[in-house]
Structure 1
């Protein structure tokens, strides 16, 4: 294939323009990469200087006291349950069992049989008094408080736990 001299010059000019364009694109890409590296470095510096101290401060001032208060509350509830409720339950169960033993006793059965033949005495019973309602309310409030404390203690709060130490790689980033 033979090309005219005019066509060869045009092709040569086009090749030079393409080579020049290619070199300009390479320069632009190099500058974009350099800018991206600088942005990454500045983001790391900003994170170390601004974000990490703020997060640490919020954790120390807001989250940690609440977690400690919840732990103290749970410990108090555990103390109340172990030291007061469980012994009371044990006493109540023991009392019920001893009442069952007493009911099986022959002397008690004989006394009950004697009472059956007597005319029953009817005592007029009045409704619940204010003290009964107050006792029921206090009992319900205590049960709700214990249930809430147990729920707070055992629920999964994975997002609340933040590692106290930063990884070594995050602190050794250099400028």
Structure 2
């Protein structure tokens, strides 16, 4: 394919313009990278100097007191439960078991008396744990679940509790 001299000059000019454009784009990208690097550095400084201290201050001012109060409340609830509720439940279970044992003993004596009349001796052996043990275990599990539920309710996130105070207007914004 043969080109005229005029076409060759036009193609050379076009190639030269394309190369110039390519070099300009490379320069532009290099400058954009330098600006992006500087912006990243400035964001890091801003984070260290402004954002991190405000977050730390907010944590110490709002979150930490709430967590400490929640911990004290959970400890108080645990002490109350262990000191008041568990002994009362244990006492009630013990009383119920005593009544059941007394009734069983009376029944056993009556049965033994009737059997003695027929001159046959009957020996009653206890086989394993009774119903009182099962009830005590079930009540213990229910009590433990209640404590875990109270602790969970105490520590769960509640967005309405953490309402931040409004910040006062800065003097620069007023002027």
TM-score by length of 1: 0.60
| Structure 1: gaps (5+ residues) | 107-144, 158-175
State whether residues 73 and 149 of structure 1, in contact with CA within 8 Å, keep that contact through their aligned partners in structure 2: no
How far, CA to CA, are the matches of 2:13 and 2:43 in structure 1?
45
Map of 1:98 onto structure 2: 98
Map of 2:32 onto structure 1: 32
Map of 2:56 onto structure 1: 56
SS in 1 for 2:3: coil
Q: CA deviation at 1:154?
A: 6.7
State whether residues 74 and 151 of structure 2, in contact with CA within 8 Å, keep that contact through their aligned partners in structure 1: yes
Map of 1:152 onto structure 2: 153
How far, CA to CA, are the matches of 1:101 and 1:146 in structure 2?
31
Verify: 1:66 aligned to 2:41, yes or no: no
Q: CA deviation at 1:66?
A: 0.6
State whether residues 70 and 152 of structure 1, in contact with CA within 8 Å, keep that contact through their aligned partners in structure 2: no
How far, CA to CA, are the matches of 1:154 and 1:23 in structure 2?
61
| Structure 2: gaps (5+ residues) | 107-145, 159-175
User: Alpha-carbon deviations, 1:90-138, whole Å to 9, x = none?
Assistant: 11111122223344565xxxxxxxxxxxxxxxxxxxxxxxxxxxxxxxx
- Paired residues, what number? 121
Q: 1:69 to 1:146 in 2, by over 3 A?
A: same
TM-score by length of 2: 0.60
Q: CA deviation at 1:156?
A: 8.0
How far, CA to CA, are the matches of 1:105 and 1:150 in structure 2?
43
User: Alpha-carbon deviations, 1:38-66, whole Å to 9, x = none?
Assistant: 11111111111111111111111111111
